[in-house]
């Protein structure tokens, strides 16, 4: 079973590296930028996981195959550069969903092998799944997927909890692995397709009656100038924003 986990790990690195290449292309980076984004996306989360768990050296130092996989993805992408630009916008979040599911399960499994507590194992799965993508998006000056409204980190946590629960019940890993993978993947794909999101709250300013923008008008104030610009007599309340509706 360890060989299966190893090949799944390589597959996750490949998928995440490809997502890094796509972001680099859309950000108009050169081949070195493509390599940097592919590398941090492919092995960034696992590197942080190993550092937190005290694993020395980290996994890609003991097995450089991970680095060769990243180089191969970048090399093929440079050759097929024009095809990368034609990739649908839907491909990136879908590919990212597969990488998230793979890395979540592998990160949680590795923490369990090191006899980490259940809660720590779930967090290590989350860290493995989302950290690389966060670094990628920050370097590309994008809002990280994990900070956007659609379900992302929640799907990773659900997959990690599933694996930990099955392990606690003594279920064979051959059963818990695909189940945890499916839980994470299906939740994330459902969030992409139906725009599922957790509740989002926002502060809004309510103007008193008789003034422009009365009680029936609610204006969301997202910037730091809200306090400076607030008019005398206005009041602020917290509202729940509805998730965006999926376009037909």
Burial class (CB in 10 A: 0-12, 13-18, 19+), 34: buried
226 pLDDT higher than 70: no
Tell me phi and psi for residue 170, to 5 degrees: 80, 20
Answer whether residue 247 is part of any domain: no
The structural domain count of the chain equals: 2
**Average model confidence (pLDDT) across the chain:** 86
- From first CA to last CA, the distance across the chain in angstroms is 43
Quote the percentage of the chain above a pLDDT of 90.
66
* Better pLDDT: 166 or 84: 166
Q: Could you read off the pLDDT of 85-118 as tens digits, one per residue? A: 777 788 889 999 999 999 999 999 999 999 999 9
Per DSSP, 149 falls in state S
- pLDDT band at residue 205 using 50, 70 and 90 as cut-offs: low
Q: What is the pLDDT of residue 215?
A: 44
Number of Cβ atoms within 10 Å of the Cβ of 229: 10
Write out the DSSP string of 188-199.
HHHHHHH--B--
Q: What is the mean pLDDT of residues 172-188?
A: 96
236 has which bridge partners?
205
The reply to whether 98 and 220 lie within a common domain is no
Domain contains 39: yes
Residues 189, 215, single domain; the answer is no
Cα–Cα distance between 21 and 32 in angstroms, integer?
10
pLDDT tens string 38-87: 999 999 999 999 999 999 999 999 999 999 999 999 999 998 877 777 77
Q: How confident is the model at residue 248 (pLDDT cuts 50, 70, 90)?
A: very low
Per the domain annotation, does 246 fall within a domain? no
Residue 248 lies in a domain: no
| Token pair in block for residue 131 | 């950290």
Count helices and strands (H / E) in the chain: 10, 3
Judge if 162 and 211 occupy the same domain.
no
Determine the structural domain holding residue 228 and report its residue range: 200-241
Does 217 share its domain with 174?
no
């Amino acid at each position: 079973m360890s060989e299966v986990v190893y090949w799944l790990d390589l597959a996750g690195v490949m998928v995440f590296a490809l997502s890094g290449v796509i972001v680099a292309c859309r950000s108009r980076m050169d081949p070195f930028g493509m390599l940097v984004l592919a590398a941090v996306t492919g092995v960034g989360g696992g590197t942080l996981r190993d550092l937190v768990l005290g694993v020395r050296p980290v996994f890609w130092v003991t097995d450089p195959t991970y680095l060769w996989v990243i180089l191969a993805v970048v090399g093929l992408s440079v050759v097929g550069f024009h095809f990368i630009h034609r990739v649908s916008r839907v491909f990136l979040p879908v590919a990212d969903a597969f990488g998230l599911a793979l890395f979540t399960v592998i990160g949680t499994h590795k923490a369990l092998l090191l006899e980490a507590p259940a809660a720590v194992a779930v967090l290590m799965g989350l860290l493995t799944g989302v950290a690389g993508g966060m670094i990628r998006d920050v370097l590309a000056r994008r809002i990280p997927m994990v900070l956007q409204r659609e379900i992302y980190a929640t799907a990773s946590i659900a997959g990690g909890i599933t694996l930990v629960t099955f392990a606690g019940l003594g279920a064979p890993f051959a059963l818990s692995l695909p189940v945890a993978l499916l839980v994470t993947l299906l939740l994330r794909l459902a969030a992409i397709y139906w725009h599922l999101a957790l509740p989002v709250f926002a502060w809004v300013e309510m103007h008193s009656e008789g003034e422009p923008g009365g009680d029936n008008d609610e204006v969301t104030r997202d910037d730091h100038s809200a306090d400076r610009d607030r008019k005398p007599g206005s009041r602020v309340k917290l509202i729940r924003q509805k998730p965006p509706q999926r376009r037909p």
